[in-house]
Amino acid sequence: HEWWANNITAKDQADMWIHEAFTDYSETLYIESLWGKADADKYLQGLRDNIANDKPIIGQYGVRNEGSGDMYYKGANMIHTIRTVINNDEKFRQILRGLNKDFYHQTVTTQQIEKYFSDKSGIDLSSIFNQYLRTIKIPTLEYKQTGNQLTYKWTNVIPGLKLPIRLADGQELTPTEQSQTTTLKSEKPAEFNKNYYIEVKQIR
C-alpha cells in the first residue's frame, strides 16, 4: 500500500492525496488486470458510496493539515474521470509510469502532478483538478431530451470547468454553464458514461 508514497512523496501533508488517491486507484487497476475493465469500472463506481464531500481533499498548507478523507475514494474517482477524459488507456498508463520514473524518490506538490498530467496528455486538466481537489462540488449535468434533441448544461461547478463527457454510445458533449442543444444519434433515452464522477439530473 505504501509503495506509491515511498516512491513519490508530497512536500506538504495538505497534498496527501498524492499518496492515497493513486494508491487507492491501484486497486481498480489490479481488478482490471484480473477480471477486466467492466468489473474494474463497477468496483470504482461502487467506492462513491464512501465519499462524504465534507471538505476539500487538499488541506491547509504549512501547518501539517491533511484534507478530507475523501482523498482515497474521491481521489480515485477523480483519477478515473481524468482517465476517461484522456480516452487513451495506453497514454494514461504511460503517464502513471512516467510519474514514477520522472519523480522517483522526490517530494512533489499538487501543482507538479497537475502540470505533468496536462503536459503528457495534451489536455488542459487544470479545471478538473480544481473542481475535485479544492471544492466539495460534484459537477451536475442537467439535461432535457425531446426526441433526438438533447439540451444540457453544467451546474454546481467552478467557473469555466472544462470537462468534456461522452455518452454511452461514444458521442461527445462539451458542457458549459450555458445551455446547449445537440442532435443525438437516435431518439432512445440518452445514456451517460458512468466512469465520470458526476451527477446527472433530467429536467422535465
Q: What DSSP string describes 70-113?
A: GGTHHHHHHHHHHHHHHT-HHHHHHHHHHHHHHTTTEEE-HHHH
Tens digits of per-residue pLDDT, 30-40? Answer: 999 999 999 99
Nearest CA-CA partner of 179 in 148, 158, 149: 149
Nearest CA-CA partner of 85 in 34, 142, 20, 139: 139
Tens digits of per-residue pLDDT, 116-142? Answer: 999 999 999 999 999 999 999 999 999
In which element (H, E) is residue 32 found? helix 17-35
Q: How far apart are CA 153 and CA 129, in angstroms?
A: 20
Residue 165 in this model has a pLDDT that exceeds 70: yes
Q: What is the pLDDT of residue 5?
A: 73
Q: Reading across the β-sheet that carries 199-202, which strands appear in turn?
A: 180-183, 149-155, 140-146, 199-202
The three cell numbers of residue 33 are 488486470
Q: How large is the average pLDDT for residues 185-203?
A: 97
Mean pLDDT (the chain, rounded): 96
Residue 2 in this model has a pLDDT that exceeds 90: no
pTM, entire model: 0.96
Residue 1 in this model has a pLDDT that exceeds 70: no
